[in-house]
Amino acid sequence: MAFLPPRLTPRNGILFEIMRVRVVSFGVLKDWLGGSERQVELPEGATVADLLARIGAESSDAARLRGIAVGVNAEYAQASHVLNDGDEVALLPPVSGGAGHAGDRSAGLKSEPMHIAITREVIDAASLAAAAKRPEDGALVVFDGIVRNNSRGRQTLYLEYEAYEEMALRQMHDLAQQALTRFGVRHVTMVHRLGRLEIGESSVLIVIASAHRAQAFEANRWLIDTLKQTVPIWKKEIFVDGAVWAPGEPFPAPLSIDPAERA
């Protein structure tokens, strides 16, 4: 086999080897950047900030990248993060809000501290809530997010949800574990649905089982609020007169990246 020399590119007067990263975009960024996936070549040692600068320079409106978050290999990353050849880099707009059949009543659910799922099937809220109960529980608090028939004065036909699924599941598991520790509750069920959802169907279900109601209420509220800020799931609203990606909750400051930020 013939020897192929490494590909080189000049940078500040020095030759660097080229690396390739796979860039995937979600939600409204797919529309802005003209597709959901692309390969980008960068000099060895390039950072997330360098990648964003490259993409911004090729975009007609680089300002739209402000306030996004970036995932590298399904983990949140800062602007200074150094990329490696073959990395998967996800560009994440503010989120609007893990795998398995969410409608099933698992025989082992009662004994597990958490049940996390992403599903494309109808969420059976009643069965999941019933399955979370145990005799020692004094409270069961359920948040059932339901698709309504209107939004911001427009009639809604249906919704479409998409997610960076590997990362979303990791984040959901992490949040559930934090809730168990932080609030001292016994059990967390957290299920989110993807795909097309009709009016009246459940998009997200959070069930907290606990000995005491105060901790159950607090944990449930904290989970839904934090999920909507940090878990990479996006909602597209289809109206009678058009369709838009729902404006998401701003990312918390440690996660939000400005493309002008440099390492």
* CATH of residue 121: 3.90.1170.40
> Can you say whether residue 184 is alpha, beta or left, with left for phi > 0 and alpha for psi between -120 and 50 degrees?
left
Q: Is the pLDDT score of 98 beyond 70?
A: no
Considering the domain boundaries, does residue 226 fall inside one? yes
Nearest to 255 by CA among 72, 97, 44: 72
Higher pLDDT, 189 or 5: 189
**Secondary structure class of 180 (helix, strand, coil):** helix
Considering the domain boundaries, does residue 1 fall inside one? no
Q: What is the model's pLDDT at position 240?
A: 95
Q: Residue 151 has which token pair?
A: 């939004």
Instruction: For residues 13 and 48, state if they share a domain.
Output: yes
Place of tokens 């597709």: 35
Q: What is the model's pLDDT at position 8?
A: 57
Instruction: For residues 129 and 55, state if they share a domain.
Output: no
Higher pLDDT, 90 or 8: 90
First to last CA, the chain: 39
CA gap 188, 228 in Å, rounded = 17
Q: Give the torsion sign (CA, 69, 73, 76, 77).
A: negative
Instruction: For residues 122 and 232, state if they share a domain.
Output: yes
CA gap 27, 46 in Å, rounded = 25
Q: Which residues of 129-162 are buried (b: 16+ CB within 10 A; e: fewer)?
A: bebbeeeebebbbbbebebeeeeeeeebebbebb
Instruction: For residues 26 and 122, state if they share a domain.
Output: no
90 — pLDDT class (breaks 50, 70, 90): very high
Query: What is this structure's pTM?
Result: 0.82
**Percent above pLDDT 70 for the chain:** 85
Nearest to 245 by CA among 43, 34, 94: 94
Considering the domain boundaries, does residue 253 fall inside one? no
pLDDT tens profile 161-208: 999 999 999 999 999 999 999 999 999 999 999 999 999 999 999 999
Q: Give the torsion sign (CA, 108, 122, 94, 25).
A: positive
Phi and psi at residue 28, in whole multiples of 5°? -65, -20
Instruction: For residues 241 and 127, state if they share a domain.
Output: yes
Considering the domain boundaries, does residue 251 fall inside one? no
Mean pLDDT, range 86-106, rounded to an integer: 67
The amino acid at residue 175 is L
CATH number at residue 59: 3.10.20.30
Mean pLDDT lowest for which of 112-121, 157-166, 169-178, 248-257? 248-257
Q: What is the model's pLDDT at position 176?
A: 97
Higher pLDDT, 253 or 210: 210
Considering the domain boundaries, does residue 254 fall inside one? no
Nearest to 215 by CA among 189, 191, 180: 180
256 — pLDDT class (breaks 50, 70, 90): confident
Mean pLDDT, range 121-144, rounded to an integer: 97
Instruction: For residues 51 and 168, state if they share a domain.
Output: no
Q: Is the pLDDT score of 108 beyond 80?
A: no
Phi and psi at residue 53, in whole multiples of 5°? -65, -40
* Domain final residue, candidates 31, 60, 92: 92
Q: What is the model's pLDDT at position 15?
A: 55
Higher pLDDT, 107 or 248: 248
Considering the domain boundaries, does residue 227 fall inside one? yes
Instruction: For residues 19 and 88, state if they share a domain.
Output: yes
Q: What is the model's pLDDT at position 227?
A: 96
Q: Residue 18 has which token pair?
A: 């080229």
Instruction: For residues 118 and 29, state if they share a domain.
Output: no
Q: Is the pLDDT score of 263 beyond 70?
A: no
Q: Is the pLDDT score of 100 beyond 60?
A: no
Instruction: For residues 212 and 123, state if they share a domain.
Output: yes
CA angle 169, 171, 172 (to 5 degrees): 65
Domain limits for position 47: 8-92
Instruction: For residues 67 and 175, state if they share a domain.
Output: no
Q: What is the model's pLDDT at position 235?
A: 95
Considering the domain boundaries, does residue 65 fall inside one? yes
Quote the mean pLDDT of the chain. Answer: 87
Instruction: For residues 88 and 113, state if they share a domain.
Output: no
> Can you say whether residue 110 is alpha, beta or left, with left for phi > 0 and alpha for psi between -120 and 50 degrees?
alpha
Q: How many domains does the chain have?
A: 2
* Domain final residue, candidates 92, 120, 148: 92
